[in-house]
Amino acid sequence: MLYRFWIAYLTITRKEIMRFARIWVQTIIPPVVMVALYFIIFGNLIGQRIGEMDGMLYVDFIMPGLVMMSIITNSYTNVVSSFYGAKYSRHIEEMQIAPVPDIVILLGFVTGGMVRGISVGIAVTLVSLLFTEFSIHNPLIVLLVALLTSCLFALAGLINAIFANSFDDITIIPTFVLTPLTYLGGIFYSIKLLPEFWQQVSLGNPILYMVNSFRYGFRGTSDIDLFTAIVVILFFIALLFSVSLTLLARGTGIRQ
């Protein structure tokens, strides 16, 4: 039985990877171009006037955050668009009719989102080499945080898609929630620059923990304690995993 579930999982994952790989010009290239522009404008042109941030060149400071932003956006977008597309054109029924447990469907979609997030993250990291010197303080931390963050936002994308009733619904959360939280998540600045009150407010933003732990992996410096950051990410993964599994089991948005 487990072998059959394993085949089903591999099928969903492969299908998800093929979906974005087939249209790589639309899925992989645009985020790379966008981040390259960030490096040129904020890293080089404006960054040279800013000087140092947290004891490093500004372009080196923003590099991990920009990679993380790409991972977050792409793992989220992949699952939300793929799952909602499957709902909209009803081919999600192919999996519902088959003897595939909900957890296998969930893991398949999430893995697809993670693969896209990590693929774009690698592409963006390669582009960053044109603007910064490559140095990794702790590769395991970089890998761990990248995997956990992509998993978390793939789950968030799935929940968005489950509740979405139109294509507008799958753009509202990224536009009005995800983007502001990402920009305010310490990509472009250290929260130490903020007044005490806003530093405390910033601690309520989960993306801050991901960006800082990722920056720690690359540069060895962080505004947040690494252990706390990992625990926060794991907590949100556990929470969103339970929510999405419950929603799939209830058939919310996919079964009448």
Partner 1 sequence: MLALEISNLHKTYASGLQALKGIDLQVEEGDFFALLGPNGAGKSTCIGIISGLVNKTSGDVKIFGHSIDEEFILAKSMLGSVPQEFNFNTFEPVQEIITNQAGFYGVPARIARQQTEHYLKQLGLWQHRRSQARRLSGGMKRRLMIARAMVHKPRLLILDEPTAGVDIELRRSMWDFLEQINDQGTTIILTTHYLEEAERMCRNIAIIDEGNIIQNTSMKLLLKQLNSETFVLYLRDDLEQAPKLASFDNIVTLDHHSIEVEVPKRRSINDLISELEAQNIVVERMRNKVNRLEELFVKLTTKTKKEGAA
Contact residues toward partner 1 (CB under 8 A) are: 1, 3-5, 7-8, 10-12, 14-15, 18, 85-86, 89-91, 93-101, 251, 255-256
What is the rounded end-to-end Cα distance, in angstroms, of the chain?
Answer: 28
d(CA 44, CA 37): 10
Phi, psi angle pair for 110, to nearest 5°: -65, -40
Q: Which is nearer to partner 1, 98 or 238 (CB)?
A: 98
Query: What's the Cα-to-Cα distance from 184 to each of 149, 152, 159, 179, 191, rounded to whole Å?
Result: 16, 18, 23, 8, 9
d(CA 243, CA 256): 19
CB of 165 to partner 1, least distance (A): 14
Looking at beta carbons, which pairs linking 91-96 to residues 24 or more positions away fall under 8 Å? 92/254, 95/12, 96/254, 96/255
Q: Which is nearer to partner 1, 4 or 192 (CB)?
A: 4
Contacts of 12 (CB under 8 A, 6+ apart): 95, 100, 104, 105, 107, 108, 109, 111, 112
d(CA 190, CA 137): 18
CB of 163 to partner 1, least distance (A): 15
CB of 78 to partner 1, least distance (A): 15
CB of 117 to partner 1, least distance (A): 22
CB atoms within 10 A of CB 143: 13
Q: Which is nearer to partner 1, 2 or 140 (CB)?
A: 2
Q: Which is nearer to partner 1, 105 or 145 (CB)?
A: 105
> Which runs of consecutive H residues, i.e. helices, occur in the chain?
2-22, 24-27, 29-38, 47-50, 58-88, 93-97, 102-128, 139-163, 169-173, 179-183, 196-202, 206-219, 226-250
What are the beta bridge partners of residue 56?
Answer: 53
Q: Which is nearer to partner 1, 22 or 192 (CB)?
A: 22
Q: Which is nearer to partner 1, 108 or 117 (CB)?
A: 108
CB of 255 to partner 1, least distance (A): 5
Q: Which is nearer to partner 1, 10 or 143 (CB)?
A: 10
CB of 73 to partner 1, least distance (A): 23
CB of 170 to partner 1, least distance (A): 17
